Amino acid sequence: MDIWQRVCSYAARALANLAAHGDSNSNNAAVGQEAGALEALVQLIRSPHDGVRQEAAGALWNLSFDDRNREAIAAAGGVEALVTLAQSCSNASPGLQERAAGALWGLSVSEANSIAIGREGGVAPLIALARSDVEDVHETAAGALWNLAFNPGNAFRIVEEGGVPALVHLCSSSISKMARFMAALALAYMFDGRMDGVAVVGTSSESNSKSVNLDGARRMALKNIEAFILAFSDPQAFSAAAASSVPAALTQVTESARIHEAGHLRCSGAEIGRFVTMLRNSSSILKACAAFALLQFTIPGGRHAQHHVRLLQNTGASRILRAAAAAATAPIEAKIFARIVLRNLEHHQIESST
């Protein structure tokens, strides 16, 4: 790497450090407002040197936590540049792979960007990164695929590109609880029914659409979502909670089920609304998955718990949660998790009134 490329690498790293810690850092928005800063970083993504590309992708990942930065990066050609980077880094260092997937994860928080990533060919390289044995790489790829799967067209692309087995493997085998969680949520989005209309029409631009066995993929996905949920379910604790109204019984279930890192995830109103709708799904497995997700997002002390509680209150979710908790045909996991979410809502309501 020559001196100029080294200077570019250091500059990109400095911007990444300034924008670190995501949405809790005021520097994040400030960096994005500097004229030409985001455009320069997008250009550095195209550098022939892996070190420069890694630092630039890391900076864009951090900067994408800000809503305005996210849209400005896309406007500067960031989606195309990062998809190209992801496509070309199969043999690159884990650091570059993680940052490429992470920057796409950050951009894909916007549904418009998510759709653009799918159209630009970003699904296949993210699935390839999700197959990595390196925890940091497959965890960030799982996050990006979770965001992409919210859109039915992208969900079908993930199925077409062989993403179900990759996500199932993560859901069942990753040592990262977060990777397993986000893989399970991606699978839940893909098979909650919204993709069905797209699957009938097909989204492939190829003359011969890839053969897809949706029924088999759905069975595989649901089986592994169920196994994931059961891995966080202590039968004795659930039985005690079902037979008692004592708060300690629910607390024990919560502590067994809690994924601490999930408290850093921030969902939109549309995402929270989708999980609430999923509580009414005909699949008992998806009901349990939705309640499990809402539990994670509302646990007191989570960075965005109050934000998620407000979103749930705005959708009138309490009535649906109470119905889920009381449903005679619902699995015990869905019922207990729904009770815990209701308790979390009550806790935040009391806390905000004092």
Burial of 243 (0-12, 13-18, 19+ CB in 10 A): exposed
Residue 318 pLDDT > 90: yes
What per-residue confidence (pLDDT) applies to 207? 39
Point out the least confidently predicted range of 54-58, 92-96, 217-221, 293-297.
Answer: 54-58
Residue 189 pLDDT > 60: yes
- Over residues 255-273, the pLDDT tens digits come to 999 999 999 999 999 999 9
Q: Name the residue among 273, 287, 180 with its Cα closest to residue 231.
A: 180
CA distances from 276 to 151, 270, 285, 354 (A): 17, 10, 14, 28
- Over residues 1-45, the pLDDT tens digits come to 566 566 566 566 666 666 666 565 566 666 767 767 899 899 999
- pLDDT level of residue 351 (50, 70, 90 thresholds): confident
What per-residue confidence (pLDDT) applies to 23? 60
Burial of 324 (0-12, 13-18, 19+ CB in 10 A): buried
What is the spatial distance between Cα 95 and Cα 54, in angstroms, rounded to a whole number? Answer: 7
Alpha helices in 120-246 (DSSP H): 123-130, 135-149, 152-160, 163-173, 177-190, 196-201, 214-230, 235-243
Residue 210 pLDDT > 60: yes
Average pLDDT over residues 279-283: 95
What is the spatial distance between Cα 250 and Cα 234, in angstroms, rounded to a whole number? Answer: 12
Would you call 121 helix, strand, or coil by DSSP?
Answer: coil
Domains of the chain: 3-230 (1.25.10.10), 235-353 (no CATH)
Residue 253 pLDDT > 90: yes
- pLDDT level of residue 246 (50, 70, 90 thresholds): confident
What is the spatial distance between Cα 166 and Cα 186, in angstroms, rounded to a whole number? Answer: 11
Buried b vs exposed e over 55-69: b needs ≥16 C-beta within 10 Å?
bbbbbbbbbbbbeeb
Q: What angle do CA 92, 97, 101 make, to 5 degrees?
A: 155
- pLDDT level of residue 245 (50, 70, 90 thresholds): confident
What per-residue confidence (pLDDT) applies to 4? 55
Written as one string, the DSSP assignment of 233-292 is --HHHHHHHHH---HHHHHHHHHHH--GGGGG----HHHHHHHHHHTT-S-HHHHHHHHH
Average pLDDT over residues 179-186: 98
